[in-house]
Amino acid sequence: MNAVPRELSAHAPRPASRESAVVIGGGIVGICCALYLQRGGFAVTLIDPAAPGDSTAKWSCGQMAVGEVIPLSKPGILLKIPGWLMDRKGPLALRPGALPGIVPWFVRFLMSARHAKIVEIAQSLATLTHDVYADYAPLLDACDDKTLLGDSPILEVFDNASALVHEAPHLALRESLGFRAQRLNAKDIGDLEPALAGKFAHGLMFDDWRAVKDTMGFLAALTDSFIAQGGRRVQTEARRIDESAGQATGVTLASGERIAARHVVVAAGTGARRFFDALGVRVPLEGIAGYQAVVADPGVEIRHSIIYADGGFCFTPMTRGLQIGGTIEFAGRNAKPDFRRADIILEKAKRVLPDMRTSQVEYGVGYRPFLPDTKPVIDRSRRLSNVYMAFGHGQLGLTLGATTGRLIADMAAGRATRQNLEPFSAYRFS
């Protein structure tokens, strides 16, 4: 699953009649866009400075969170934020230097906390998440490894019953949109996860959620498939989108090399900001740091990906170890990671799993590209009509990667999209 992709810069000869496309960004959204364009008959070049698999999604809990449609601004979270910010070990941190730059983002974030707005956002996201497995199916079928996506549901555990009471309205909204949740008691939790027996008496099981076997391996396998099918991956930075007469003509790389293209997709996460002037958009896109710790030989068995709601983190068993993460930080642009946040996660995890061995630990951080209303941008540039935007997926990048790829390929091919994309317009913030 972690196999190194085949020759990254090599690609099969392309028929001259095929339309060309360049995708900027090789993370989960970018590779899915590239694969769907490739499936549609485009000759695709993928550009990313990092190695395959080394992206924001690598440092995530690896969940296909199909029912995670309630925006981050839900009232329960808003009430907790002041306490978290005062607690150095809380699941949310704000560096003082980041405050001036983040205030406008937070104002928009608070505007998304009204009940009517929450319902509207949830309904819009649900139109995308209902297609997640169907959209991933052809991409995963083309991969050599047929076990990339696990078949176990996701669990969520709570310290007490009151947390479930607070979650009840959001659970009801999820269920009204077709997403299932099964209540768990102490015995249920112990039977499903013996390592947690006697520690939690309240929980939920999300029957329609799944987790990947390994986030890095999942990304690498999709990239490997793209290369095997004739795609080209260039490991460098895209410096600018070239244009003429209201159309993109290609992309110029850091080396000065120019790649000509009939279509360009910007799927670069927080790196999309570099291209906003060319795209003609002003989008409040911020990178929120999410810290993770991977314990290579934990010595305890965890069978499911588990969200520990009150602790603010989750456990996910992966092929390279037990991945533990969830704490987030508003650090400001270009700030260096503070891996003391990962130490906090590990310390909390040890309280839940005191027998866990932590002699082999790898720390990582992913900068989640968040928009204040928690919805991504999936749109076409009005300034350059053959440039498409796919960024701002926040914590749903892995979940929505394939669905976004399908929608972008539909737009590039001139087909009507199955979903209404107006809620995901880049111009909704104007």
Strand order of the β-sheet with 377-380 is: 232-234, 43-47, 20-24, 263-266, 387-391, 377-380
- Digit-coded pLDDT (tens) for 212-242: 999 999 999 999 999 999 999 999 999 999 9
Mean pLDDT of 309-313: 84
Say which DSSP state 49 is in.
S
Q: Which two tokens stand for residue 148?
A: 């990339």
CA distances from 214 to 58, 139, 150, 279 (A): 8, 16, 9, 34
**Residue 6, helix vs strand vs coil:** coil
What's the rounded Cα separation, in Å, for the pair 387 and 243?
Answer: 10
Is the domain spanning 1-73+112-148+210-285+373-430 CATH 3.10.310.40? The answer is no
* Residue 144 confidence class, pLDDT cut points 50, 70, 90: very high
pLDDT class for 100, splitting at 50, 70, 90? confident
More confident residue, 100 or 24: 24
Q: Residue 29 in contact with residue 272, Cβ under 8 Å?
A: no
Two tokens, residue 215: 């986030």
Question: Can you give the pLDDT at residue 259?
Answer: 98
Mean pLDDT of the chain: 91
Percent pLDDT > 70 in the chain is 92
Angle, CA of 371, 155 and 76, to the nearest 5°: 45
Q: What are the percentages of helix, strand and coil residues in the chain, rounded to 5?
A: 35, 25, 40
Is a pLDDT exceeding 60 seen at residue 14?
no
Contact 392, 25 (CB under 8 A): no
- pLDDT band per the 50, 70, 90 thresholds, residue 166: confident
Amino acid, single-letter form, for residue 1: M
List Cβ neighbours of 373 (8 Å cut-off, separation of 6 or more): 71, 73, 108, 109, 112, 117, 121, 428
Residues of the chain with CATH 3.50.50.60: 1-73+112-148+210-285+373-430
Strands 247-253 vs 182-184: parallel, antiparallel or unpaired: unpaired
Q: What is the pLDDT of residues 64-76, one digit of tens each?
A: 999 999 998 776 6
pLDDT at 91: 66
Q: Which uninterrupted H or E stretch holds 346?
A: helix 340-352
Residues with Cβ < 8 Å from 159, sequence gap 6 or more? 200, 202, 310
* Residue 422, pLDDT score: 98
Residues sharing a CB contact under 8 Å with residue 393, sequence separation 6 or more, in sequence order: 29, 369, 376, 400, 401, 404
CA atoms within 13 A on the CB side of 318: 29
Q: Locate the DSSP E strands across 228-278.
A: 232-234, 238-244, 247-253, 258-260, 263-266
